[in-house]
């Protein structure tokens, strides 16, 4: 447990020290949301209906940049290798980084919400459920994303490979996040949001369990 806290503390500190990169990722996400609104045209009702999808697509695109960045500092001077030799547990290193990435992606998602409201006229009073879905959805991106970012960190084509590997795997997360968010934004007369949220939580549980088991095999030769 001490190792997990040490790993989480290290990754949060790294994120704080490189916070200008996080700002750049947010600007990228904001630009993506803006472009989606141009691509959809001026129909207000259409924009409102597609707002949830655009928000999650924007967050997913941002996530590949943020996740790749999170391993940049590990591979520059082989810092993770040095930690493994201390010896630090690979599993603790994984969960520390995945948790830090989760925090970053959740904050990014929350920061994109006001833009979504302004650009797509998709406001809601159900802020707590909306942030709850963002929390669960970003967890579903963070766990496999951290694993694949670790796998591709040393590869030359990592910026292409990461989304290629990650996107197919997170389709269930994307689907349930979009559905739950859309129901929160546009109304949920049949009470379906709870089912989609439960499905999302179930995928989170699977990803967080499995990826933690696989990661040590990925980082060791």
Partner 1 sequence: MPLGMAVETVGLGRRFGRRWALAEVTLTVARGQRVMLTGRNGSGKTTLLRVLASLLSPDRGSVRVCGGDVVQDREAVRHHVALLGHYSGHYEALTALQNLQVAARFLGQDASREAIRARLDQFGLAARADDAVSTFSAGMRKRLALARTMMQPATVVLLDEPYGELDVDGFALVDGLLESMRAEGRTVLMSTHLLERGRELCEHAVALEAGRLTWAGPSADMPQHSAWSERQRGAA
- What is the contact surface with partner 1 in residues (CB under 8 A)? 2-3, 5-7, 9-10, 13-14, 17-18, 73, 76-79, 81-88, 220-221
Q: SS3 sequence, 188-207?
A: CCCCCHHHHHHHHHHHHHHH
Q: Rounded CA gap, 137 and 105, in Å?
A: 9
Minimum CB distance to partner 1, residue 44 (Å): 44
Minimum CB distance to partner 1, residue 62 (Å): 20
The tokens describing 36, both together, are 């989606």
The tokens describing 44, both together, are 């207000």
When the beta carbons of 33 and 90 are compared against partner 1, the nearer one is 90
Minimum CB distance to partner 1, residue 3 (Å): 6
When the beta carbons of 45 and 76 are compared against partner 1, the nearer one is 76
When the beta carbons of 13 and 202 are compared against partner 1, the nearer one is 13
Q: Rounded CA gap, 162 and 156, in Å?
A: 11
When the beta carbons of 77 and 190 are compared against partner 1, the nearer one is 77
Minimum CB distance to partner 1, residue 221 (Å): 6
**Which residues neighbour 204 within 8 Å (Cβ) at sequence distance 6 or greater?**
136, 139, 140, 143, 173
């Amino acid at each position: 447990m001490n190792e997990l806290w040490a790993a989480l503390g290290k990754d949060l500190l790294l994120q704080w020290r490189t916070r200008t990169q996080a700002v750049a990722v947010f600007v990228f996400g904001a630009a993506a949301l803006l472009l989606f609104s141009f691509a959809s045209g001026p129909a207000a009702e259409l924009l409102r209906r597609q707002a949830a999808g655009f928000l999650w697509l924007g967050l997913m695109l941002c996530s590949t940049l943020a996740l790749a960045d999170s391993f940049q500092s590990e591979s520059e001077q082989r810092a993770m290798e040095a930690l493994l030799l201390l010896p630090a547990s690979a599993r603790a290193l994984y969960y520390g980084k995945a948790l830090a990435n989760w925090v970053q992606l959740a904050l990014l998602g929350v920061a994109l919400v006001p833009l979504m409201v302004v650009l797509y006229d998709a406001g809601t009073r159900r802020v707590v459920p909306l942030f709850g879905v963002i929390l669960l959805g970003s967890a579903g991106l963070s766990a496999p994303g951290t694993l694949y970012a670790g796998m591709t960190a040393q590869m030359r084509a990592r910026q292409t490979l990461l989304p290629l590997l990650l996107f197919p795997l997170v389709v269930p997360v994307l689907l349930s996040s979009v559905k739950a968010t859309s129901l929160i934004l546009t109304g949920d007369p049949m009470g379906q949001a709870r089912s989609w949220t439960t499905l999302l939580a179930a995928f989170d549980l699977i990803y967080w369990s499995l990826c933690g088991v696989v990661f040590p095999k990925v980082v060791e030769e």
